């Protein structure tokens, strides 16, 4: 257990040190800033806040997903392909501990990156609410005279929790796929799974055995309405994500036990 936790910490630290991780976070921050600026082009305050809340949650989900897929390909597939994993497996570290440690480290790093994006989004939303999306430069106009826009913080927090659940589900899938696929193949497979998971509800299905039910983890416009995202829906989505991640990792561990490392 100690070796597993140590490997998880090293994996998380390695992912957070990658320039691509910080580049993805920077792009996410730029997109959050642009969503605030674009809100100025809507006349209705409700529409401005709706767009800002929805876009920020979407940025969280997509950027964290990208970091998870990239990290899985680096931490798992590259080490197997370059045979550096043999060094760890030659020590008293089982294959189960190796893959579980890598998976936990990746999930932790993705969750931390998602938290940073959520905090940045909360700051952007607060700026939009206080300024009412009116960024004039008239020194005689006092911002305190404006009526601040109400922010549905509870629903917004729930939306970010579901966005994190989406990213964690896809990261767990990327870890399993990284046992066989390199970066490009992993990206294609995860993108296909993402698209299929959002198309399945149109057929009356909520996910499948190898596809997470991502439609249960989407806040949509409910995130910008106070009480629009019930706590029960958030808890149900988080429970599904936890169960799906555990199942995906269990399948990955079973496959890795039978896999030959060239």
Global confidence as pTM? 0.86
Q: What is the pLDDT of residues 102-136, one digit of tens each?
A: 899 999 999 999 999 999 999 999 888 888 777 66
Burial per residue of 105-139, b for 16 or more beta-carbon CB atoms within 10 angstroms, e otherwise: bbbbbbbebbeebbebbbebbeebbebbbeeeeee
Contact 16, 108 (CB under 8 A): no
Contact 67, 242 (CB under 8 A): no
The set of residues, in sequence order, having a beta carbon less than 8 Å from that of 46 and lying 6+ positions away, is 224
What is the model's pLDDT at position 41? 66
Q: Please give the mean pLDDT across all residues of the chain.
A: 83
Backbone dihedral angles phi then psi of residue 51, each to the nearest 5 degrees: -65, -40
Angle at 47 between CA 41 and CA 164, to 5 degrees: 110
Q: What is the pLDDT of residues 180-236, one digit of tens each?
A: 888 888 889 989 988 888 888 777 776 666 788 888 888 776 666 666 788 888 999
Beta partners for residue 208, in sequence order:
211
What is the model's pLDDT at position 135? 63
Whose tokens are 């809340």? That residue is 53
- Residue 143 clears pLDDT 50, i.e. is over it: no
């Amino acid at each position: 257990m100690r070796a597993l936790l140590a490997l998880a910490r090293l994996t998380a630290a390695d992912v957070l040190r990658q320039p691509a991780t910080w580049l993805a976070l920077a792009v996410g921050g730029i997109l959050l800033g642009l969503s605030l600026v674009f809100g100025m082009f809507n006349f209705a305050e409700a529409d401005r806040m709706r767009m800002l809340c929805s876009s920020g949650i979407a940025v969280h989900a997509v950027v964290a997903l990208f970091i998870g897929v990239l990290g899985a390909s680096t931490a798992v597939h590259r080490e197997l392909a370059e045979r550096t994993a043999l060094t760890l497996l030659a020590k008293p570290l089982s294959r189960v501990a190796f893959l579980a440690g890598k998976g936990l480290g990746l999930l932790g790093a993705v969750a931390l990156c998602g938290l940073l994006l959520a905090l940045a989004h909360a700051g952007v939303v607060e700026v939009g609410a206080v300024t009412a999306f009116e960024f004039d430069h008239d020194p005689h106009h006092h911002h305190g005279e404006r009526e601040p826009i109400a922010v549905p913080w509870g629903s917004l927090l729930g939306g970010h929790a579901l966005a994190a659940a989406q990213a964690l589900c896809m990261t767990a899938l990327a870890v399993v796929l990284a046992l066989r696929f390199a970066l490009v193949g992993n990206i294609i497979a995860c993108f296909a799974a993402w698209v299929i998971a959002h198309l399945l509800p149109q057929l009356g299905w909520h996910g499948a055995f190898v596809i997470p039910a991502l439609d249960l983890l989407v806040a949509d416009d409910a995130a910008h309405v106070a009480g629009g995202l019930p706590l029960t829906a958030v808890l149900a989505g988080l429970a599904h994500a936890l169960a799906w991640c555990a199942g995906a990792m269990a399948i990955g561990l079973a496959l890795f036990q039978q896999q030959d490392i060239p």
